[in-house]
Amino acid sequence: MSDWWRGAVFYQIYPRSFCDTNGNGVGDLKGVIEKLGYVARLGVDAIWISPFYRSPMKDYGYDVSDYRDVDPLFGSMADADALVKRAHDLGLKVMIDQVWSHSSDQHPWFAESRASRDNPKADWYVWADAKADGSPPNNWQAMFGGASWTWDSRRRQYYLHNFLPEQPDLNVRNPAVQDALLDIARFWLDRGVDGFRLDVVNFYVQDALLRDNPSLDLPRAPARPHQFQRHLFDRTQPETLEFIARLRKLLDLYGAAALGEIEDEEPVATQRIYTDGPARLHTAYSFSLLRAKRMTADVIKAAMNAWNGAQGWPSWSFSNHDVVRFPTRLAENDRERTKQLFALLLALRGTAFVYQGDELGLPHADVPFGRLRDPEAIAFYPSGIGRDGARTPMPWAREANMAGFTDAPDAWLPLDPRHRALAVDAQEADSNSMLAFARKMIALRKSSAALREGDFVALDAPDPVLAFERAAMGERMLCVFNLGDQPQEWDALAPVGEARLTLGGAKRDGARVMLPPYSALFA
């Protein structure tokens, strides 16, 4: 069976902000279909689409009220089927989000579960009695602030929610819940999707005894209360892997793949555990590089070395809908540095995920407080990570209304004025644009077995030079990056072969590689 996902380049689409075809200021599935030709021309192998299911939108689709239907805001099931067909016609695989750690509190399952303690779905969510003084069962803290428990006066018990109170946690220990989730997987696999991105996959199961998390000894108070604790008991329990084994068996029948999102205190170690062998996930990503404040040679080598000897296969991205966009976070919005980091992402061993707008070098958008929609950003303002800044409308046409995203005078989030100059049509006409470079770099990766699947071998180089070799199937690719703001020279100790791609004026002369600031060479 083909490991089509291994070494692939995925393009993440956040449909609310991709393209609006009905003029309501919110992107939709027909908008995704309309722009899939553009995505295919990037040269990527697959798309990952964030949730488009029925939802009250308290967390913008990550609170699902019906896993088997499309929210009317995004379109219809016919649109979803047409999207999968169009993607396949263009040679693109389709991965869709599945949010199985929790549902919406408007899901019929939860309505039944909360009705009594003895109904057929009474044990489909995580319920617990109050302590003798009426307080929550333990000290767990929700990611979006406050206790992880909310009192329900109907059952006269607390229910668990790792995020918003409107996102109650499913009891994935329950075999009936597992069966229901696998039925959802079959529903979408039968409609032709090629895999699932599993939201916070290590949150599926909690400690059976609901023990308190230990506190951390912190020098100063963090911005969020959940950061006061070591999360030993509210996530990453071994029983989760038993369910993953059942899911993997189903996926293998369809030739489909699972990508797990890992949110943990030891992210790479947990990534390895969750991908370690044929009964685990096909691949997983964590926030280890997504939250990095600086990109250094040591950061990259540590991430790569952590996978030495692993059975599993990693995935990497520098941006997504949950973090500050990498051109701002890592490159100070400098175009050449942004190109270099894009090249670095696609040079790493693993599957690469490009977030919509990365290929344009979009800076993280400024969203004023009055326009914030993200519940986390609002709760922790001004210390939040500002997820809304990564979710603003995709700019398609520089001079068009709302940069071509919508015919409406405004959108669900504002357009950052800086994004107009970086619109797709403006970059299409510029051979030196970020978009032109992104296409070149994706093409280089696709043409190279070494870059797609090869081993990673770090080479000796003085900081801030990062040098490594990728090797597979008799091909060796040298990758050299000057991550600093001063010119550098590096001695490869042997003559460097023909340059396949250079950036920022990097050159070779025999065994010497001359590297201007923020340059790169592939040879």
C-alpha angle with apex 325: 322 to 331, nearest 5 degrees?
150
H helices of 358-433, where? 375-379, 424-428
The position carrying tokens 């520089």 is 398
Q: Which residues contact 508 (CB under 8 A, 6 or more apart)?
A: 492, 496, 499, 514, 521, 523
Terminal C-alpha separation, the chain: 32
Which H/E stretch holds residue 82?
helix 77-89
Q: Which residues contact 266 (CB under 8 A, 6 or more apart)?
A: none
Burial class (CB in 10 A: 0-12, 13-18, 19+), 418: middle
Give me the catalytic one of 20, 194, 199, 374.
199
8 Å CB contact between 123 and 171:
yes
The position carrying tokens 């997983």 is 284
C-alpha angle with apex 321: 315 to 322, nearest 5 degrees?
85
8 Å CB contact between 174 and 105:
no
Q: Which residues contact 190 (CB under 8 A, 6 or more apart)?
A: none
Contacts 24+ apart (CB under 8 A), 173-181: 173/205, 173/208, 173/239, 174/123, 174/124, 176/123, 176/124, 177/124, 178/243, 178/246, 180/109, 180/124, 181/98, 181/100, 181/243, 181/247
Q: How far is CA 490 from CA 302, 331, 345, 400, in A?
A: 21, 23, 21, 47
Give me the catalytic one of 152, 261, 358, 374.
261
DSSP 103-156: --TTSHHHHHHTT-SSSTTTTSB-EEPPPTTS--SS--B-TTSSBSEEEETTTT
Q: Which two tokens stand for residue 424?
A: 């797709």
> Rounded distance, CA 47 to CA 240, Å?
26
Q: Which two tokens stand for residue 407?
A: 């015919």
Which H/E stretch holds residue 335?
helix 335-347
239 as an active site residue: the answer is no
8 Å CB contact between 103 and 170:
yes
199 as an active site residue: the answer is yes
- Please state, as a whole number, how many other Cβ atoms lie within 10 Å of the Cβ of residue 176: 12
8 Å CB contact between 206 and 160:
yes
* Number of helices (H), then strands (E), in the chain: 13, 21
Q: Please give the positions annotated as active site.
A: 199, 261
